[in-house]
Structure 1
Amino acid sequence: MADEAETGGRVDGLPAFEGHPARALVLGEVHARPFHPLSGARVFLRYGFIVDASAVEADRDWFAGYCQSVGVQGPGRASRHHMVQIGDSILRRERHGEFITYSWDGPLDESDDVDAAPRGHPFGARFRAPGPLMVAVRCDFVSAKGPYFARQFERFEQASLSASQVDQGAAIIATDFRQDRDGLTRILVGDQSLSQVQAGALTQRLIELETYRTLAMLGLTEAHRQAPKVGEIEDGLLAITERMRTSEGLTANRQLLDELTRLAADLEAGAAASAYRFGASRAYYLIVKQRLEVLDEQFHEGHFTFTQFLTRRLAPAMRTCETIEERQANLSRKLARAATLLRTRVDVELQEQNRGQLAAMNRRARLQLRLQQTVEGLSVAAVSYYVVGLFAYLAKALTDTPVGPYLPSQGVLTGLAVPVVLASVFLLVRRIRRHHDDREGAE
């Protein structure tokens, strides 16, 4: 008891650390999509819907109400995966980055018609789609030796039929990757000697394969949308570079630079709009390739394997996306180089203009200096004239005083004052100009 008190109630003595907010999510992610052991014939339906943030919340609220209506507990607010057991069937809701999937599996009566809708599925009028439908797949798990497998196998379109043996011949998988009358891609799994866990893992991988294969192809639609825009920008860049070879003058080069800047803005807007889509398609394609590698397929009756069919069809689509991305990146670099050249040319022409303006300013400054010196000379003469005139009045007044007979005449006094006045006025004006020059230099 003393040990428990010292360790805060923990018998082992290990401290209780504060957990990271994302710890539960990180640890739970590896167990989020467990393989569901299968026994007997089963049918799987999966629908995937593209959603945004508001649609996710609305769908979670709807699904919580649905779970309550069937008497089971609904998902938590932060829950990304939730499974509901309804009798012999299971309904799963999974929230991914940009889409939500609803997956249902239940017993399959092998005596039913292969085109019959599964019994007891929840995707009727009561079901509420959270967003636009993107994925729709049906996977039938039956015995490879039963009549249902043979009937469904024959219904596939032979031109695009893919079939192979997996798990070292323990099962046969087949699909034509086409939609049936209900808009579902049909996948057939024929059990030969699978364990229940192997069966659950195989069906889940195949459903995920079709899910991510469909989502990966979204990048192709974006590539088709961007291709004409990239072509127009390439043509525009070619026309601008041709005009750059003969353009002269600041106005013409500025106009070319404006056009080039608009092209660069259009390209960057398109690249930003497609960056997420292309990145997501790459990620989905990697998942598809990983699922195909895990299948470890072997040929069955000379048909294409899933890997062969998807590599032949899906890989070119992904290369198209990569090509558009590379064209955007290369075009961005070319636009940057062309813009740099034009800016350099515009800067050189601006410097030439500035040099001419500075030369003109220097000429005007020299003229102003000469004019100022002329004005200063005239001002010295004018001020000296007035000062000498005042001194003449003073000399005249002195001649009328008692000391007048002893002084030189008025004209002599005035003449002697002229050089003194001129020198004094000149020095005074020069001192004032230096004082102003010193103040302007200090500022």
Structure 2
Amino acid sequence: MREHEVRRQVVSEMHLRRWPLLQLPVAVFQWVLEVGPGEREAERSVLSALCGSQSDEENPRHLSGALSGDVSFTWERQSEGSTLTVFCPGRAIEVLLAPGLDSSVGEAIDWAETMPGAIIRATSIWVGGDEAEVERALPAVDFNRSELVSCGLSGGVRIWSDFRIHPDGRGRLVVSAGEVDRSDLTRQLQQLQELGNYRNKALLGLPVAQEAWPRLDAAERELAALAKAVTSSAASDDDLLAQLSDLSLELSTIATSIDYRMNATAAYSRLVEERLAQLAPEPIRGFASLVDFTERRFLPAARTCAALTERERQLTRRARQISELLRARIETRIENQNAKLLRSMERSTTMQVRLQQIVEGLSVVAVSYYAIGLLGYAIKGASHHFDWVDPEVAIALLVLPVLGCVWFALHSLKKRVLGGD
């Protein structure tokens, strides 16, 4: 037996890439990056320069290691980019506002910001002990109270965030662990971050949808005008077919430019819904919950992207239907023209047959005339030897038999040549 070449890759995909067990209090910094194909080599160079980040795989998808002091990191590669998370245990909540005051944290953030790629989401997280302790520390965090979201999670965990980008370029999230088991806390916090990461990745489709929407408006107006023109005979079929071909090409171009992003948005939206169901946030009086925030801010954007995809498909189907109607109209006109041509050919053939019949009658008369003339010479010659032969009477008596014989001979010849038709 031999091992399949992708067996280990498949098995590794089935295992959870869990965060290390969190030691409270802890500050966590996470970056979700969009890394292009040309930046992957630079990314590997930055990671391989760290002690402990080496891997047996040539192109690893998950790495972890230690940075300066007690700071550690995990890195994971996804299809569209990478996620880098830095863990700083034993830090107070003030580290969210001024991470540079802690040399280990500052060095870790400086190293993280050398990673190539475009930032999709950056988050600063602080996890404290019980809820009362965290609430006393909250004034140190510059949250916008009017937009503050706070809700409970299972096991007594509570979160606070305004989901805004602060002056340091990162969002801020504060969590109280309560009495929940540390492994459950780590799992819930990772799911919470995945919820936010998938939400931002899904929202990448919104600018694409907003840009494509006016193009679909223009295509719909043109399609309505074409549908009206197809029902009338004012425009030529060639002009209509050319316009319809241009419109179909425009719809195909729009579909090509939005399909990948819209499909990705739909997939990420399903993941957001799954993570939200797994977290099962519990609302707290006086605060918007995570469910409220998601339904008010995220779902309209996701539905806009879904509506754009459905609208593009409907316009494509309508363009295809109008094209079929136009082709049916062209085929009907061609069939009518062919029918007219066949009727004209039939009339021409009928006239030819009638003319041929007239010629046949004249031919019988002409042949009979010449035959009677030849017989007349013979009868006149015979009258010199036989007195009882009257040439004029004899020729007169031969007219009808000769006509009948000539007609019968020509008719038999025609029947033999035409095969009885």
TM tier, smaller: 0.7 to 0.9
Instruction: Supply the AA of the counterpart residue of 2:86.
Output: W
Structure 1 pair 282/274, CA: closer, same or farther in 2 (3 Å)? same
Is 2:66 the partner of 1:94?
no
* Structure 2 Cα separation of the partners of residues 152 and 367 of structure 1: 107
Q: Is the Cα–Cα contact under 8 Å of residues 137 and 210 in structure 1 kept in the other structure? A: no
Structure 1 pair 120/148, CA: closer, same or farther in 2 (3 Å)? farther
1:96 Cα shift?
1.4
TM-score under structure 2 normalisation?
Answer: 0.77
Structure 1 pair 240/281, CA: closer, same or farther in 2 (3 Å)? same
Q: Is the Cα–Cα contact under 8 Å of residues 35 and 82 in structure 2 kept in the other structure? A: yes
Work out the number of aligned pairs and report it.
Answer: 402
Is 2:248 the partner of 1:248?
no
* Structure 2 Cα separation of the partners of residues 47 and 375 of structure 1: 101
Q: Is the Cα–Cα contact under 8 Å of residues 127 and 174 in structure 2 kept in the other structure? A: yes
Number of the residue aligned with 1:336: 320
Is 2:137 the partner of 1:150?
yes
* Structure 1 Cα separation of the partners of residues 327 and 57 of structure 2: 58
Structure 1 pair 66/116, CA: closer, same or farther in 2 (3 Å)? closer
1:274 Cα shift?
2.0
Aligned pair partner of 2:99 in 92, 116, 119:
116
Structure 1 pair 290/125, CA: closer, same or farther in 2 (3 Å)? closer
* Structure 2 Cα separation of the partners of residues 126 and 47 of structure 1: 9
* Structure 1 Cα separation of the partners of residues 42 and 15 of structure 2: 25
Q: Is the Cα–Cα contact under 8 Å of residues 51 and 65 in structure 2 kept in the other structure? A: no
Is 2:51 the partner of 1:71?
yes
Is 2:308 the partner of 1:308?
no
Number of the residue aligned with 1:239: 225
Q: Per-residue CA shift, 1:352-403, capped at 9, x if unaligned?
A: 1111122233344556667888999999999x9xxx9xxx9xxxxxxxxxxx
* Structure 2 Cα separation of the partners of residues 113 and 314 of structure 1: 26
Q: Per-residue CA shift, 1:217-263, capped at 9, x if unaligned?
A: 12222221221122112212222233334x227x6244334323432
Instruction: Supply the AA of the counterpart residue of 2:274.
Output: Q
Instruction: Supply the AA of the counterpart residue of 1:84.
Output: G
Aligned pair partner of 1:188 in 147, 150, 174:
174
**Which stretch shows the higher mean deviation, 70-79 or 322-331?**
70-79
Q: Per-residue CA shift, 1:39-69, capped at 9, x if unaligned?
A: 13222222222244x33xx52x334433443
Structure 1 pair 347/302, CA: closer, same or farther in 2 (3 Å)? same
Structure 1 pair 41/380, CA: closer, same or farther in 2 (3 Å)? farther
Is 2:333 the partner of 1:349?
yes
Instruction: Supply the AA of the counterpart residue of 1:99.
Output: G
1:126 Cα shift?
7.4
What pairs up with 1:396-415 in 2 under 5 angstroms? none
**SS of the residue aligned with 1:231?**
helix
1:124 Cα shift?
4.3
1:308 Cα shift?
1.2
Unaligned ranges ≥5, structure 2: 375-401
1:71 Cα shift?
2.9
TM-score under structure 1 normalisation?
Answer: 0.73
Structure 1 pair 432/113, CA: closer, same or farther in 2 (3 Å)? closer
1:433 Cα shift?
8.3
Cα RMSD between the aligned structures? 4.2
Q: Is the Cα–Cα contact under 8 Å of residues 41 and 107 in structure 1 kept in the other structure? A: yes
Number of the residue aligned with 1:163: 150
Structure 1 pair 112/132, CA: closer, same or farther in 2 (3 Å)? closer
* Structure 2 Cα separation of the partners of residues 180 and 238 of structure 1: 47
Instruction: Supply the AA of the counterpart residue of 2:187.
Output: A
Q: Is the Cα–Cα contact under 8 Å of residues 28 and 124 in structure 2 kept in the other structure? A: yes
Is 2:288 the partner of 1:288?
no
Is 2:345 the partner of 1:361?
yes
Report percent identity of matched pairs.
Answer: 27
Unaligned ranges ≥5, structure 1: 1-15, 393-417, 438-443
Q: Is the Cα–Cα contact under 8 Å of residues 83 and 91 in structure 1 kept in the other structure? A: yes
Instruction: Supply the AA of the counterpart residue of 1:183.
Output: G
